[in-house]
Structure 1
Amino acid sequence: KGCDNLHLARTLKTYRKILNSIDSPFSNGVVEGFHQKIKLMKRISYGYKSFQNLRRRILICNPNSILKEGEI
């Protein structure tokens, strides 16, 4: 009987999360996609001489970069 109550509680908690995700207009998909790009760049850039080179590449590849002209 205790296991049934625990299972019911977990189901209700998950159900609320699912409903919230459907009702909410927000998504973290864009952030997750950019994070995947950064991870790929880290794998590809193995052997760069400095972290600054990796940072520059990430900022250049981001279309919404905070870089100002001439900063690179």
Structure 2
Amino acid sequence: MNTLRKHLPYIINSFNYKYDNGRIEGINNKIKVINRVAYGYRNFNHYKNQILLHFNLKAIGKGTKQSNQNKSCPKAA
């Protein structure tokens, strides 16, 4: 009963809000599997690219911020 009383506000919040961390837990699990399978990678960039490829993500480069800022900021006349 003490454990239930201690965690009761969090349990109530889980019913009140639709958010959970299931998606993040799944991503972490996939990364751990890739890590076990990809033990032989010599280069961290290859490992990182495998993760990005698996989740269809795009890498953030140094020039990405500049190109996004130029597109979103209108030029003054």
TM-score tier, shorter chain, comes to 0.7 to 0.9
The one-letter amino acid paired with 2:28 is H
The normalised TM-score by structure 2 is 0.68
TM-align CA RMSD: 1.6
**CA displacement 1:3-26 (0-9 Å, x = unmatched):** xxxx64x43221111111111111
Q: Could you tell me which residue of structure 2 aligns to residue 61 of structure 1?
A: 54
- Superposition misfits of 4+ residues, deviation over 4 angstroms: none
The one-letter amino acid paired with 1:43 is R
Residues 1:41 and 2:34 aligned together: yes
The normalised TM-score by structure 1 is 0.72
Q: Which moved more, 1:13-22 or 1:27-36?
A: 13-22
Structure 1 spans left out of the alignment, 5+ residues: 1-6
